[in-house]
């Protein structure tokens, strides 16, 4: 038993020995006081594969009475992203996996070219999968240059097809005299834009249609994939979002349409070997910034917030899991454009100890004031509340301790110590000013 309502149930976590990449993150982030997990040599664990295979084959998904959008509740949902080809410990995949746990059975993904499209679709295989009902993310990769437009197009197509379906279901409700069908149509119409409600109403409608004769039914059945509410996601890295795809991203958020943009912010073009982007930070060594980037990170969140009707959040999973899930759930439920910028450690950062420490590194990023957490929800403004919520506390650790933990900064110190000192001071000052600016924003929106 893991909480009220789960009497008679127990759970275990079984790792697939053959698929585990050995990143060791689970060992590092395990909250148990006594270390509950330990890494062991692969050969000594091969005979444990049978437990994993048994669980996959025989243990069914259970209805668990925890809210899906909580840390605990989300982790009892089936991930519809499984074994990707990402670097072991990648900071991007945990976000995508979490999003599929929340919305995977009704989600569309437009994926910009970049690491997310490479680990997300290394043809001929894909780590995205389906649940027992055969439902899973519909995924496609567009050009690096036009992915926001591609996702916006998906949203427009879905909206158009669902509106037409609603028109037909309304007509059917008005004309049918078959028992139960009118009620099923009305129930679907009332729940069309409710994620869970539309799923239940769709099943009822399909079963009512099955036992009635009707002229419009064929057309409705042809479009039954549109019965449940869809969740349209646009995935990409910072090279796409801040730089090359920015014009399209701006166009897509300005449209006011119900899209969810998720930026996996690694602060470099990761997939092409670590070139600097407008998201890279002062003092960071990257390709095209071999002596440390001189100018500051673009404030993409602030640009999006200036519209007033865009949901915007900055998150970092390892720093605050609850805030991360809250932002993702709020963005998805917001019936307009949403932009989430997620801090994503990358092998290019050269984190001390390697990506084993990726999740802990995001915690350090927030504690040192290197990265800030906040949410801007236009719905709150309409309710007379402050739409801007700063979720980061004032830094409790030294900014330069974060820099000292990553090769992308320490390498500058080794090569150009004086310049490093100068740029790191500038970076620290810029981070302080960003936090003060966020504090002022919070007051301003009050
Ligand atoms: C049409 C097209 N333009 C450009 C590229 C080259 N390209 C592929 S991935 C990439 C960088 C992606 O960087 P980013 O958006 O930051 O995502 P990340 O890899 O960091 O997740 C570039 C420039 C390409 N493959 N195709």
Confidence of residue 30 (pLDDT cuts 50, 70, 90): confident
CA of 144 from ligand 1 middle (Å) equals 6
Task: Please list the residues that pair with 390 across neighbouring strands.
Answer: 374
Q: Which residue has the tokens 């037409």?
A: 164
Question: How many angstroms separate the CA atoms of 52 and 54, rounded?
Answer: 5
Provide the token pair at 351.
Answer: 């984190």
Given a cut of 70, is residue 383 above it in pLDDT? Answer: yes
CA of 122 from ligand 1 middle (Å) equals 15
The pLDDT score that the predictor gives to residue 13 is: 85
Maximum pairwise Cα distance, the chain: 83
The pLDDT score that the predictor gives to residue 28 is: 85
Q: Is there an atom of ligand 1 within 6 Å of 387 CB?
A: no
Asked if residues 173 and 273 have their Cβ atoms less than 8 Å apart, the reply is: no
Given a cut of 80, is residue 278 above it in pLDDT? Answer: yes
The pLDDT score that the predictor gives to residue 32 is: 77
Q: Is there an atom of ligand 1 within 6 Å of 239 CB?
A: yes
Most informative mutation of 94, 121, 142, 144 for ligand 1 (most atoms within 8 A of CB): 144
pTM of the full structure = 0.96
Collect all residues with Cβ–Cβ distance below 8 Å to 192 and sequence separation of at least 6: 162, 166, 198, 229
The pLDDT score that the predictor gives to residue 123 is: 79
| Atom 26 of ligand 1: nearest residue by CA position | 144
Q: Is there an atom of ligand 1 within 6 Å of 143 CB?
A: yes
Most informative mutation of 271, 288, 298 for ligand 1 (most atoms within 8 A of CB): 271
Given a cut of 80, is residue 330 above it in pLDDT? Answer: yes
- Rounded percentage of the chain residues whose pLDDT exceeds 70: 100
Collect all residues with Cβ–Cβ distance below 8 Å to 274 and sequence separation of at least 6: 268, 286, 287, 348
pLDDT, one tens digit per residue, over 92-128 is 999 999 999 999 999 999 999 999 999 999 878 899 9
Comparing 26-35, 75-84, 310-319, the range with the smallest average pLDDT is: 26-35
Q: Is there an atom of ligand 1 within 6 Å of 118 CB?
A: no
- Helices 147-175 & 246-254 angle (0-180, nearest 10): 30
The pLDDT score that the predictor gives to residue 214 is: 83
Sheet of 388-390, strand order: 138-141, 107-111, 231-237, 260-265, 338-343, 311-315, 374-376, 388-390
Mean pLDDT over 47-58 rounds to: 94
CA of 240 from ligand 1 middle (Å) equals 7
Ligand 1 atom closest to Cα of residue 243: 15
Asked if residues 339 and 251 have their Cβ atoms less than 8 Å apart, the reply is: no
Strands 374-376 and 388-390, by their bridges, are antiparallel
CA of 236 from ligand 1 middle (Å) equals 9
Given a cut of 80, is residue 2 above it in pLDDT? Answer: no
Mean pLDDT over 202-231 rounds to: 92
* Mean residue pLDDT across the chain: 95
Spans of all domains in the chain: 1-65, 150-226, 231-445
Go through 362-377 and write b for each residue having 16 or more CB atoms within 10 A of its CB, e for each that does not.
bbbbbbbbbbbbbbbb
Comparing 63-67, 81-85, 254-258, the range with the smallest average pLDDT is: 63-67
**Under CATH, which number does the domain 231-445 receive?**
3.40.50.970
Question: How many angstroms separate the CA atoms of 445 and 385, rounded?
Answer: 9
| Atom 12 of ligand 1: nearest residue by CA position | 114
Of 265, 228, 251, 272, nearest to 103 by C-alpha is: 228
| Atom 23 of ligand 1: nearest residue by CA position | 272
Neighbours of 344 (CB within 10 A): 26
Q: Is there an atom of ligand 1 within 6 Å of 150 CB?
A: no
Q: Is there an atom of ligand 1 within 6 Å of 237 CB?
A: yes
The pLDDT score that the predictor gives to residue 211 is: 83
Ligand 1 atom closest to Cα of residue 241: 15
Confidence of residue 34 (pLDDT cuts 50, 70, 90): confident
Q: Is there an atom of ligand 1 within 6 Å of 345 CB?
A: no
The pLDDT score that the predictor gives to residue 292 is: 96
Provide the token pair at 413.
Answer: 């110190």
Given a cut of 90, is residue 259 above it in pLDDT? Answer: yes
Given a cut of 90, is residue 191 above it in pLDDT? Answer: yes
Provide the token pair at 175.
Answer: 């004309």
- Helices 417-445 & 407-415 angle (0-180, nearest 10): 140
The pLDDT score that the predictor gives to residue 3 is: 80
Instruction: Report the run of H or E that residue 227 belongs to, with start and end.
Output: none
Strands 275-276 and 268-269, by their bridges, are antiparallel
Question: How many angstroms separate the CA atoms of 269 and 267, rounded?
Answer: 7
Confidence of residue 155 (pLDDT cuts 50, 70, 90): very high
Question: How many angstroms separate the CA atoms of 279 and 50, rounded?
Answer: 45
Q: Taking the CA atoms of the chain, what radius of gyration do you get in angstroms?
A: 24
Q: Is there an atom of ligand 1 within 6 Å of 245 CB?
A: no
Neighbours of 46 (CB within 10 A): 11
Ligand 1 atom closest to Cα of residue 266: 20
In terms of Cβ atoms closer than 10 Å to its own Cβ (0-12, 13-18, 19+), residue 43 is exposed
Confidence of residue 212 (pLDDT cuts 50, 70, 90): confident
Given a cut of 70, is residue 1 above it in pLDDT? Answer: no
Ligand 1 atom closest to Cα of residue 270: 20
């Amino acid at each position: 038993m893991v909480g009220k309502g789960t009497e008679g149930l127990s759970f275990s976590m079984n790792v697939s020995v053959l698929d585990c990449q050995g990143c060791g993150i689970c060992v590092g982030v395990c909250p148990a006081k006594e270390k509950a997990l330990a890494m062991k040599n692969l050969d000594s664990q091969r005979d444990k594969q049978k437990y994993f295979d048994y669980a996959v084959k025989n243990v069914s998904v259970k209805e668990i009475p925890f809210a899906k959008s909580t840390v605990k509740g989300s982790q009892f949902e089936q991930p519809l992203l499984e074994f990707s080809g990402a670097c072991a410990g990648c900071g991007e995949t945990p976000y995508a996996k979490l999003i599929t746990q929340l919305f995977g059975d009704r989600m569309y993904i437009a994926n910009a070219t970049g690491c997310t499209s490479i680990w997300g679709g290394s043809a001929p295989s894909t780590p995205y999968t389906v649940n027992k009902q055969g439902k899973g993310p519909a995924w496609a990769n567009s050009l690096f240059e036009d992915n926001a437009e591609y996702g916006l197009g998906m949203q427009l197509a879905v909206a158009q097809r669902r509106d037409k379906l609603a028109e037909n279901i309304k007509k059917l409700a008005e004309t049918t005299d078959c028992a139960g069908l009118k009620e099923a149509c009305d129930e679907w119409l009332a729940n069309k834009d409710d994620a869970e409600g539309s799923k239940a109403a769709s099943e009822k409608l399909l079963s009512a249609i099955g036992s009635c004769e009707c002229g419009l039914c064929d057309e409705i059945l042809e479009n039954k994939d549109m019965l449940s509410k869809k969740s349209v996601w646009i995935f990409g890295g910072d090279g796409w979002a801040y730089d090359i795809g920015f014009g399209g991203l701006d166009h897509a958020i300005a449209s006011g349409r119900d899209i969810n943009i998720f930026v996996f912010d690694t602060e470099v073009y990761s997939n092409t070997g670590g070139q600097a982007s407008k998201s890279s930070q002062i003092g960071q060594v990257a390709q095209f910034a071999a002596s440390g980037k001189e100018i500051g990170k673009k404030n993409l969140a602030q640009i999006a917030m200036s519209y007033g009707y865009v949901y915007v959040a900055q998150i970092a999973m390892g720093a605050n899991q609850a805030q991360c899930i809250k932002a993702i759930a709020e963005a998805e439920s917001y019936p307009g454009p949403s932009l989430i910028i997620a801090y994503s450690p990358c092998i290019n950062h050269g984190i001390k100890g390697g990506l084993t420490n990726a999740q802990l590194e995001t915690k350090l990023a927030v504690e040192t004031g290197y990265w800030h957490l906040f949410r801007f929800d236009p719905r709150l403004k309409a309710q007379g509340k402050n739409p801007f919520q700063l979720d980061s506390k004032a830094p409790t650790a030294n900014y330069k301790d974060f820099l000292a933990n990553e090769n992308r900064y320490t390498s500058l110190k080794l090569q150009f110590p004086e310049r490093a000192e100068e740029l790191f001071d500038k970076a620290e000052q810029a981070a302080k000013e960003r936090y003060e600016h966020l504090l002022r924003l919070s007051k301003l929106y009050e």
